[in-house]
Amino acid sequence: MRRIFFLSLGVWFIFSGFKIGDKPPSKNINPAYSSYLKGLLSECYGDSQRALEEYLKAGKFDEESVSLQIRIAVQYIKLNKIPEALTILKELTQKEPVNLDAYLLLILIYSSQRKEKEATDVYEEMLSKLYKEKPGNLKIAENLAQFKFQKKDFNSALKIYETILKANPEYSDAYFWIGYIYEEKGQRQKAIEFWKQGLKFNPEHSDILNSLGYIYAEEGINLDEAEALIKRALEMEPDSPAYLDSLGWVYFKKGDYPKAKEYIEKAASFMKDPVILEHLGDVYYCSGSREQAKKIWEEVLKLQPENKVLEQKLRGENEPCQD
């Protein structure tokens, strides 16, 4: 199987160096700075109410301090006054340049409230604005492209990765993702072309090795090459369930069911993925353990009720075994 990539809304690891309030109010505005320091001291003692009061006083003297507004929002959050915090943070996200503190706090609030759509929308807005400000930043561009990919906005993801590749023509990760996108779009031959190009620049790119080998297995072509490609990937990640399943699938396509069973069972022991389990059911079925196969297929169908091919297998209308 191809490795599945998930994008976490816990974006703290994406933007290293994040900290609340990089710039305090100007020291030249004495009343504001005095209240700001009192607020900081109150925070240190865990007195969020007093800290809020002091920060609000400082804000009357210095209305332009973004850092101060962030700290006020943080105190509102600590005091569970979420509507007030949201009002401040939403206003800050409309200012330029992009304020990461405001966006990340919004995501934190929505995530804690289990409002996935709102958190996702804010994350996308943040990445889009950052990409507009810094189109040459590889990390930002990739995160936006992968976010679009997760939303199945394949054309937008492809456009971003093509821009990345134009600026970095030997960047093998871009070849991998472009291939991945074309595969999801149903353009398998294009995917193969890009993965082959990616291997020219990085012959040890394990995800490309696995993806190319797996697609060959799916197509029932170049099976010896597919086996060699995936074995190279497994040398780098011997316990990868995706790679183990891929190699097992190559053996299945070759009609070597004992070897297929060995690798796919091992993959399933690491990861109960619907694709791996369906493959395991196919192997059991073709190895003569048909009741065991049907039990697994029924389990998979609960996870993928839209899987028409699986329904056909259960009705005996789709023979998975190789000639």
As given in the structure block, the two tokens for residue 61 are: 């003297």
Measured distance CA(132)–CA(121) in Å, rounded:
16
Q: What is the pLDDT of residue 142?
A: 95
Same-domain status, 120 and 55 = yes
Same-domain status, 122 and 50 = yes
Same-domain status, 37 and 127 = yes
Residue 20 in domain: no
Residue 1 in domain: no
DSSP string, 138-158: HHHHHHHHHHHHHTT-HHHHH
Domain count, the chain: 2
- Written as one letter, the residue type at 82 is I
DSSP state at residue 136: T
Same-domain status, 87 and 180 = no
Measured distance CA(56)–CA(279) in Å, rounded:
61
Q: What is the mean pLDDT of the chain?
A: 90
Residue 295 in domain: no
Looking at residue 166, which CATH number applies to its domain? 1.25.40.10
CA angle 310, 312, 318 (to 5 degrees): 100
153 pLDDT above the threshold of 50:
yes
Measured distance CA(231)–CA(210) in Å, rounded:
8
pLDDT band for position 36 (cuts 50, 70, 90): confident
As a whole number, mean pLDDT of residues 275-282 equals 97
Measured distance CA(99)–CA(9) in Å, rounded:
17
Residue 253 in domain: no
Residue 176 contacts residue 199 (beta carbons within 8 Å)? no
As given in the structure block, the two tokens for residue 103 are: 């966006």
Residues 6 or more apart whose CB falls under 8 angstroms from that of 82 comprise 76, 109, 113
Same-domain status, 129 and 152 = no
Q: How far is CA 244 from CA 180, 205, 256, in A?
A: 19, 16, 15
Same-domain status, 128 and 39 = yes
Same-domain status, 51 and 94 = yes
Same-domain status, 151 and 78 = no
As a whole number, mean pLDDT of residues 140-167 equals 96
Measured distance CA(40)–CA(218) in Å, rounded:
61
Q: What is the pLDDT of residue 80?
A: 94
Residue 58 in domain: yes
Instruction: Convert the pLDDT of each residue in 53-65 to its tens digit.
Output: 999 999 888 888 8
DSSP state at residue 26: P
Q: Which of 77, 102, 133 is the last residue of a domain?
A: 133
Measured distance CA(229)–CA(79) in Å, rounded:
56
Q: Residue 97: is the preceding peptide bond cis (ω within 30°)?
A: yes
Residue 70 contacts residue 102 (beta carbons within 8 Å)? yes
Same-domain status, 39 and 122 = yes
Residue 224 in domain: no
Measured distance CA(166)–CA(139) in Å, rounded:
15
Q: What is the pLDDT of residue 259?
A: 98
Q: Which of 102, 133, 164 is the last residue of a domain?
A: 133
Measured distance CA(262)–CA(169) in Å, rounded:
40
**Looking only at Cα atoms, what is the longest distance across the chain?**
85
Tell me phi and psi for residue 321, to 5 degrees: -70, 145
Residue 63 in domain: yes
- Written as one letter, the residue type at 16 is S
What is the extent of the structural domain holding 124?
Answer: 32-133
Q: Which of 92, 109, 133 is the last residue of a domain?
A: 133
| Global confidence as pTM | 0.81
Axis-axis angle for helices 82-93, 116-133 (nearest 10): 30
DSSP state at residue 47: -
Same-domain status, 38 and 120 = yes
Residue bearing tokens 């199987």 = 1
Instruction: Convert the pLDDT of each residue in 231-268 to its tens digit.
Output: 999 999 999 999 999 999 999 999 999 999 999 999 99
Nearest to 142 by CA among 123, 125, 155, 157: 157
Nearest to 155 by CA among 124, 187, 125: 187
210 pLDDT above the threshold of 70:
yes
